[in-house]
Structure 1
Amino acid sequence: MSEQLPAPRYADGPPPGAVDQLAGPDRPVSPDEGEQDLAELDKEAVNALRAAVMRLSRRLKHQRVDESLSPTEMSVLGTLARCGSATPSELARKEHVQPPSMTRIVAMLEAKGLVRLDAHPEDRRQKVVTQTEQAESMLAAARAKRNAWLTELVQELDEEDRATLRAAAPVLEKLAHL
């Protein structure tokens, strides 16, 4: 007769797929174990998503039109393009930087002719930062270059992967704005 081994015990729960292996006619899978498997799969998916987004982001950052601008300066210009004119304090909040840092960034962008500072319509103590036409055209060129590069990559995918990517794009956009 073969000896039956005791079921293994796991400190943090069984690894993915282990519940299926342990389940059988003598041992049904409890709902909690199914949720645990889902949680483990979600953790793996989140980890894979994080790593892929970071690698893709790094590669996209190398597709630059103007090497004289830092990624932070480009981000501020992108925020102005997306959200419109803003005070330096509002930009600092949106970009998650300290107000003194944003003041320096805005000063550098102004010196490069990419933003202009206007008087705030309601509070003369404040300034409103607005991007210039030069910044708009530079951002358009940067977007075009990055889109062209990304299009080349996407063309290497099969149709099923491209369909998956089209379906995932709105979800990724939603995640980016949560």
Structure 2
Amino acid sequence: MTYAKDMASGTTLVQDSLASELRVSVGRFVRRLRSERGEADLPDAQFGVLTSLLRHGDQTPGALAQHERVKPPSMTRTVNALTELGMVEKVEHPTDGRLVLVRVTDTGRREVEETRRRRDAWLTGQLDGLRAKDRELLERASALLADLASG
């Protein structure tokens, strides 16, 4: 890569635009990985709701909408679609009778497990084709990307 100094700001500019290249390649990687899906072939939004429920427990549709950063009507449609598929169920809120909680069913849990298994299998196959030093580089890059994502 070629570096140049921006005299006005004093920052180093990467003329090959590392930020842009990384954004594009990570985006492509994520899209390819997400194409590996379970039997139900759920859209990303529905799969995201299932994983959120498994990670954080039962939630109201409103809390799910906030967590997934979507509007409540969109979450209502997503929850209804998952309910029709038998992936989630709506149960009474224990302290507020006006609310419902969304809970993952065994069917939803199996779908998440199968999707994760397929994604791991695809990625493992890709990694197996790399040289050891490239896998080590990706191991270091994985830690760096985790740090970037949490910052």
Q: TM-score range by the shorter chain?
A: 0.7 to 0.9
**1:17 aligns to 2:19 (yes or no):** no
CA distance in 2, matches of 1:161, 1:72: 33
Larger radius of gyration between Structure 1 and Structure 2:
1
TM (norm. structure 1) is 0.74
Shift of 1:34: 9.7
- Deviation readout 1:60-81 (Å, 9 max, x if unpaired): 1221123542221111111112
Counterpart among 10, 22, 26 of residue 49 in structure 1: 22
CA distance 1:138–1:177, change in 2 (3 Å): farther
Counterpart among 32, 38, 48 of residue 65 in structure 1: 38
CA distance 1:82–1:42, change in 2 (3 Å): farther
Task: Select the structure that is richer in strand.
Answer: 2
Counterpart among 52, 63, 68 of residue 95 in structure 1: 68
* 8 Å CA contact retained: 2:40, 2:111: no
**Alignment-derived partner of residue 96 in structure 2:** 123
CA distance 1:135–1:173, change in 2 (3 Å): farther
**Alignment-derived partner of residue 121 in structure 2:** 148
Mean CA deviation greater in 157-166 or 51-60: 157-166
**Alignment-derived partner of residue 36 in structure 1:** 11
- Higher RCO, 1 vs 2 (CA within 8 Å, ≥6 residues apart): 2
TM (norm. structure 2) is 0.86
CA distance in 2, matches of 1:130, 1:42: 49
Counterpart among 109, 112, 128 of residue 85 in structure 2: 112
CA distance in 1, matches of 2:85, 2:22: 36
For structure 2, which runs of at least 5 residues remain unmatched after alignment?
none
